[in-house]
């Protein structure tokens, strides 16, 4: 059934959606009211935003890696869409002295057309910001202080702009067990293979940092995979 009423033991068709999460649907006002005590605990995690903060300092006494849900907080950006505007807003709303790209990580569910993009602050020499353990795991390199996470992708990719806290928490949980750099290399390889039409199987990493874009793609690939890729 497309939309079953979310209330327990009601099998009617859901006609109107919860205004908060726009996910749960109900057949009647009565059902919505009766389901509210249950739904109010899940509704916030189903609401979509274009940005979330991932705190570095534990918000509970549990270790950050075991309380990821508590470290993540919605932070909807008013000026979403360009890096310059986003960084400006992070600085003005959070009092950050700088805002810069700190890393990227792919979603646990296998998306290749977009990734999570992480903003953070540069660490001044004298500053002692706490290490952000969860962000460090996801990005595969040390991160300090609070970070802001949005979705992004290469130009022209189909990136869902808004997402739920649930989705982000699941992705972050994934990197407790999986190595970020391995997943990143794998997804990049798949994506590049699709966009270029090249067979990249066997290539374990592609370093495009020093690519000369005036050279043909085959040449660049051979160079940046240490000869593991051959035309
Ligand atoms: Zn709801
Ligand atoms: Zn109902």
9 lies in which domain range? Answer: 1-44
135 and 27, same structural domain?
no
Ligand that comes closest to the CA of residue 164: 1
pLDDT value at position 47?
93
Give CA–CA dist 190/170, Å, rounded.
22
Element (H, E) at 38: helix 29-46
Q: For the CA atoms of 104, 105, 107, 112, what is the dihedral angle to 10 degrees?
A: 70
83's CB contacts (< 8 A; 6+ apart) are 101
6 and 120, same structural domain?
no
Q: Tell whether 122 is covered by a domain.
A: yes
116 pLDDT tier (thresholds 50, 70, 90): very high
Does the structure show a pLDDT above 80 at 125? Answer: no
Ligand that comes closest to the CA of residue 43: 1
Does the structure show a pLDDT above 80 at 204? Answer: no
153 pLDDT tier (thresholds 50, 70, 90): confident
205, 184 in Cβ contact below 8 A? Answer: no
User: What mean pLDDT is predicted for residues 188-204?
Assistant: 75
pLDDT value at position 1?
46
Ligand that comes closest to the CA of residue 38: 1
175 and 66, same structural domain?
yes
167 and 138, same structural domain?
yes
Does the structure show a pLDDT above 70 at 59? Answer: yes
What is the distance in A from the centroid of ligand 2 to the CA of 15? Answer: 9
Q: How many domains are contained in the chain?
A: 3
60 and 82, same structural domain?
yes
Report the chain's mean pLDDT, rounded to a whole number: 87
85 and 15, same structural domain?
no
53 and 156, same structural domain?
yes
88 and 140, same structural domain?
yes
161 and 60, same structural domain?
yes
């Amino acid at each position: 059934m497309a939309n079953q009423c979310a209330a327990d033991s009601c099998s009617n068709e859901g006609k109107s959606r919860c205004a908060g999460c726009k996910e749960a649907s109900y057949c009647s006002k009565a059902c919505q009211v009766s389901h509210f005590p249950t739904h109010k605990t899940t509704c916030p995690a189903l609401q979509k935003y274009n940005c979330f903060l991932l705190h570095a300092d534990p918000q509970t006494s549990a270790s950050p890696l075991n309380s990821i849900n508590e470290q993540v907080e919605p932070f909807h950006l008013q000026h979403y869409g360009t890096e310059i505007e986003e960084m400006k807003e992070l600085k003005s709303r959070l009092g950050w002295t700088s805002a810069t790209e700190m890393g990227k990580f792919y979603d646990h569910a296998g998306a290749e057309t977009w990734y999570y993009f992480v903003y953070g602050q540069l660490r001044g020499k004298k500053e002692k910001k706490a290490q952000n353990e969860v962000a460090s795991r996801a990005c595969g390199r040390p991160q300090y202080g609070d970070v802001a996470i949005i979705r992004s992708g290469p130009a022209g990719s189909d990136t869902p702009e808004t997402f739920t806290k649930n989705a982000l928490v699941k992705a972050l949980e994934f990197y407790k067990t999986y190595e970020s750099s391995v997943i990143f290399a794998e997804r990049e390889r798949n994506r590049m293979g699709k966009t270029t039409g090249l067979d990249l199987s066997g290539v374990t990493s592609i370093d495009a940092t020093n690519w000369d874009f005036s050279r043909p793609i085959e040449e660049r690939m051979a160079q940046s995979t240490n000869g593991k890729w051959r035309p």
